[in-house]
Amino acid sequence: MEGLTFRYRRGRQPAIRDLSVELEAGEVLLVAGPSGCGKSTLIRAVNGLIPHAYPGDLTGSVWIDHARIAERPLREIARMVGTVLQDPAKQIVGSTVEAELAFGPENLGVPPAAIRDRIAAVMARAGIVGLQGRDTAALSGGERQLLAVAGALMLTPSLYVIDEPLANLDPATAARLMAILRELADEGHGVVIVEHRVEEALDLRPDRVLYLDAGEARYLGPVEGFFEVADPGVVKVPFEVALAHERRLARRAGLSEGWAATPKGAATNVGPPRLVFESVHVTLGDQHVLRGLSASLAQRQIVAVLGPNGSGKTTLFRTALRLLEPDAGTVTVDGERTTQRSVAQLARVLGYVFQSPSQMLFARTVREELLFGPRNLGLPHDDGFAMEALRRTELHDLEGILDRPPLSLSFGQQKRLALAIALALQPPTLVLDEPSAGQDHGTATRFMAAVAGIPGLESVYFVTHDVDLALTHADRILVIRDGQIAADGSPREVVQDEEAWRACNLRRTSLIAANLAWEPAPGRFLDAVTLARAVLAHELAGRSAGEARAAGEGG
């Protein structure tokens, strides 16, 4: 990549500026940076979508295997570059798993017998043999992500570009994906991976890190040097790195009093049940997704739902909104069976934000998206009302936002627009499916804090694979495995059962270990920056006490 600069046709500023990167065969490049810094644009430039599918002003060039991308048709580029998009729903076109895997090689003229052999080998390598014969529409988000990876493997390219694969994967499956990508690199393939969750991506043992900010390369070099410049408030790094960063800031600030932790208080007055599942069974195709699940979620509570891919987390809440009907059992909202309410009525109580925002977006403009629901339910629906919903989700500052097509927004911006759409109905409870997907670590953290502080909002239930996000923002953790509740309790209670934690494909991160070791806020888990500042405050207090004792003894 030589001096690459690109400005989208409707953009006022370049999305990427003067980027020059060289990747050798067998090398792994990790790309990190805040939301909107140009990471996805970088991938589009590598896989040929820029300039072939995204018009704009392009200078500089990208070369792969001595071929200049701008001069090659996408059909040829697909043989060289395997892409896994941020949102797998936009990538999968086949109706069945086998049809999806066959799609690429069929279009490249690979003989049917060779395709069948390749499907068997790729399914085994990607660990998706259990998905054989499944309809793609019935797959979970994580299963679709693995299928998208397998689809890229089917084309045997020389270079793989992967855009935020970990957001939809449970920690154990994410580790397996990292192992696959490492094997590909060891075999001589190049790998470019964009990821906010840097700690998990380190399993891939990247050779170098490209840190982007405002479309420019702020750093390009070894992982160790990246840790010197990375902001733990933006990218998710190991806790030891966050602590070292805060120590450097503290030294420059003279270790002032402002470094104390400010943990949240423990949840109180959770109120009566809002959402109750009683012996709920759900079958999708021939898959028993929920198996007699029973749970009660309170009216004033923040509940995180964790568990392996395909365990039934998303199905649980789709059943609550009657987007799916249970085979057996009952679901009640505020004491009334959901079968006695319409989907629209339930949406006034449970504001649901889909895992894939494109499933919620259909109107021509952001304004029409925001006002569609309120208009149909007789709520206020003017521009002022729309802008207030956007203000709550930090989208109001985007130029001309109300008149923009929703699908022209970035994936992370689409996620926030989907939240604004849910908030426009003024529900007392929000249900968020993978709220951190497409958001950098800092944005996701602010997002969850902002959601919890929305006036009139009583409770938040969210599905996530980011265990640190769950433990630091939830009052209660539900862990689902094989369609049943495997664990239920406070963050500390659930994480201390290490055997059950690992059995549900979860892993102990460095932040979990640090919280358990330090316990700065009994009963609560702190985020990395707050915990690091608590540790520093503790060290400073100990140092001051030691100096006071020494002075007293000297006297």
Higher pLDDT, 541 or 166: 166
**pLDDT for position 263:** 46
Q: What percent of the chain has pLDDT over 90?
A: 54
What residues contact 2, with CB distance under 8 A and at least 6 apart? 20, 60, 61, 62, 63
The least confident of 161-170, 307-316, 447-456 is 447-456
What pLDDT band is residue 553 in, cutting at 50, 70 and 90?
low
**pLDDT for position 542:** 67
What pLDDT band is residue 543 in, cutting at 50, 70 and 90?
low
What pairs with residue 6 in β-bridges? 16, 58
- Give pLDDT tens digits for 314-371: 999 999 999 999 999 999 999 999 999 999 899 999 999 988 887 889 999 999 999 9
Range 229-256 burial, b when 16+ CB lie within 10 A, else e: ebbbbbbbbbbebbbebbeeebeeeebe
The least confident of 37-46, 406-415, 463-472, 485-494 is 406-415
Closest of 490, 451, 479, 498 to residue 170, by C-alpha: 479
Residue 412 · residue 375 · CB < 8 Å: no
Superfamily of the domain at 273-507: P-loop containing nucleotide triphosphate hydrolases (3.40.50.300)
Residue 353 · residue 418 · CB < 8 Å: yes
Higher pLDDT, 449 or 30: 30
Averaged confidence pLDDT in the chain: 88
Most confident of 111-115, 232-236, 407-411: 111-115
Token pair belonging to 4: 């690459």
Residue 404 · residue 79 · CB < 8 Å: no
Q: How far is CA 474 from CA 174, 194, 305, 428, in A?
A: 22, 27, 9, 17
Q: Reduced to 3 states, what is the DSSP secondary structure of residue 276?
A: strand
Angle at 168 between CA 167 and CA 172, to 5 degrees: 95
Residue 62 · residue 118 · CB < 8 Å: no
Higher pLDDT, 11 or 505: 505
**pLDDT for position 554:** 59
Indicate if the pLDDT at residue 478 is higher than 90: yes
Q: How far is CA 167 from the centre of its chain?
A: 3
Higher pLDDT, 138 or 368: 368
- Give pLDDT tens digits for 92-117: 999 999 999 999 999 989 999 999 99
Q: Reduced to 3 states, what is the DSSP secondary structure of residue 385?
A: helix
What pLDDT band is residue 187 in, cutting at 50, 70 and 90?
very high
Indicate if the pLDDT at residue 408 is higher than 50: yes
Delimit the CATH 3.40.50.300 region(s) of the chain: 2-228, 273-507
What CATH number belongs to 2-228? 3.40.50.300
Q: What would the mean pLDDT of 511-540 be, rounded to a whole number?
A: 85
pTM as predicted:
0.83
Taken in order 484, 490, 493, 499, the sign of the CA dihedral is: positive
